[in-house]
Amino acid sequence: MNRTTRRSIAVVLACTGLAVPPVATSAQQTPRANTEKLMLSLSLDGASLSSDGLRDERQSGGGFSAQVGWGFTRLFTLLVDASGAVLNPDDNEAVLVHFDLLGRFSFTNPGRAWVPFVETGISARIAGQDDAVVIVEDDPQTVDLEMSGGGLTFGGGLQYHVTPAIALGAGLRWTVGEFGTVKFNNVERDGFKMDATTTRLNLGVTWRPLRR
């Protein structure tokens, strides 16, 4: 093999070696998690309501929730959530409903399928019970009861992206505030305030239809 042939082989090998790394790098950069644009979610929920003003200081049960949101960047999503749960389904059944406006901050790495996140925002809450026993001026009465009020919500969770557009996840939220409005048999009563904390655990699936 003469000198010219050896030089030609060396040039070919060098060019081949330079061509391989960009291809490998491109494959490594294929996103496994995508948290941008439209977000749709459905979840199974476990919920609880606790307050010193309740006869039973803590009530709990299960329900469902739905979310729609928009990821402005891979780090920040603004979302609205509606959830409902039946508390104490076997005894003195009550209904608890939340409406949330939340900001979600995701710790996204495009090369990683796991995405932890934290959330914070404001919420409206409604709790209702038929045939509830209340004390009005030392007189026990059986009424249809409804309480409503606002609160601050914070929480966090973790998602696993099966594909960049579909994720399975779990989250935990706390809402603190007060029920400031009460209705007995659809008649609103003044001067009512009850501090309460609600907790929600959700397990669900998220779909981002504009991402692939």
Average pLDDT of 100-109? 96
State the greatest distance between any 2 C-alpha atoms of the chain, in Å, as a whole number.
Answer: 112
105, with CB counted inside 10 A (0-12, 13-18, 19+), is: middle
pTM over 0.85: no
Alpha carbon 97 to its chain's center:
15
Q: Residue 162 half-sphere exposure, CB side, CA atoms within 13 Å?
A: 9
Q: What is the pLDDT at residue 20?
A: 45
Q: What percent of the chain has pLDDT over 90?
A: 56
What was the pLDDT predicted at 209? 92
Confidence check: pLDDT of 8 > 60: no
| Separation of alpha carbons 28 and 42, rounded Å | 31
CA 210 – CA 212 distance, rounded (Å):
7
User: Does the domain formed by 34-207 have CATH 2.40.160.20?
Assistant: yes
Please tell me the predicted confidence (pLDDT) of residue 49. Answer: 93
Q: What does the alpha-carbon distance between residue 107 and residue 110 come to, in Å, rounded to a whole number?
A: 10
Mean pLDDT for the chain? 83
Residues 107-139: pLDDT tens digits? 998 789 999 999 999 999 999 887 666 655 555
Report the range out of 3-12, 36-45, 47-56, 82-91 with the highest average pLDDT. Answer: 36-45
Pick the more confident residue, 16 or 130.
130
Of 12 and 126, the structure prediction assigns the larger pLDDT to 126
